Structure 1
């Protein structure tokens, strides 16, 4: 290999690595915005415009980095917040629905049931009877989509 081609190979590798780091920083900005503004009307094209990426590229890169699409991540954040508010019990299910960013009670109930496995009102009733500290409850009851849950690495007996 000539000295010039070796330099080009090193520069090309460094550029690809630098680009990957820039992409990860952009993805972190998107994730942080979702975490911060989960109750606001957010959609993938708007999130992509904010970081100067196409919606498709953002979705692919986000899924590769975080294991779920930006939309799924947003829904998970909203449902987690709703779970917290339901455990407190001081707001109605409808008020919680709108407070966490849903515009339809039906959509909220459907998404909640998909992720948690029970309706919001059943969750509120059952969560009220549990005497588990909130930090433990959040960790244990974090919603996971069945099709996105990791498969076991060892075969079951």
Structure 2
């Protein structure tokens, strides 16, 4: 019976971590940090970070940044908002931090992306556009 209890405990832990991920997906534009996410899940920040990384392969902070940048990419492609407006719309409080993170994940500055990629996904179904335009960290694209 001990093995069944351990399995049930692992499943409960995964469910809690999935709820944290779902919260990030819903509230990415809100002022979220690992401590707030951990409090909401009744976990310590360290435990949340370890479990989140174990389940999803990245930290909750990295996942949040990716969600914000994905949304920023969509808004920048639309072309009707300035880079500053997009920065605040996706939850960043600093244009410098937004520009740095955007450039790290996408490979170009937000202003260049806006200029060069507006209408890049025109005619592509949104579900496919999201997949095709998802930011990829530079370390994920390295080979060997």
TM-score, normalised via structure 2 length = 0.91
Looking at structure 1, the residues matched to 119 and 7 of structure 2 have their Cα atoms a distance apart, in angstroms, of 51
Looking at structure 2, the residues matched to 77 and 89 of structure 1 have their Cα atoms a distance apart, in angstroms, of 19
Say whether 1:117 aligns with 2:107.
yes
- Cα deviation 1:83-135 (Å, max 9, x = unaligned): 00001111111011001000000000000000000000110111126365263
Secondary structure of 1:57 counterpart:
helix
Looking at structure 2, the residues matched to 71 and 103 of structure 1 have their Cα atoms a distance apart, in angstroms, of 15
Aligned length: 142
1:8 — aligned with what? none
Looking at structure 1, the residues matched to 27 and 89 of structure 2 have their Cα atoms a distance apart, in angstroms, of 12
Give 1:40 deviation, angstroms.
0.3
| Aligned match for 1:145, one of 124, 137, 142 | 137
Say whether 1:52 aligns with 2:42.
yes
Query: Mind listing any 5+ residue stretches in structure 1 that lack a counterpart?
Result: 1-10
Larger Rg: 1
- Cα deviation 1:1-56 (Å, max 9, x = unaligned): xxxxxxxxxx1101110000000110011000000000000010111111111111
1:6 — aligned with what? none
2:53 — aligned with what? 63
1:19 — aligned with what? 9
Higher relative contact order (CA 8 A, sep 6+): 2
CA RMSD of superposed structures (Å): 1.8
Looking at structure 1, the residues matched to 7 and 114 of structure 2 have their Cα atoms a distance apart, in angstroms, of 47
Residues 120 and 39 from structure 1, CA distance in 2 versus in 1: closer, same or farther, beyond 3 angstroms? same
Residues 70 and 17 from structure 1, CA distance in 2 versus in 1: closer, same or farther, beyond 3 angstroms? same
Residues 15 and 66 from structure 1, CA distance in 2 versus in 1: closer, same or farther, beyond 3 angstroms? same
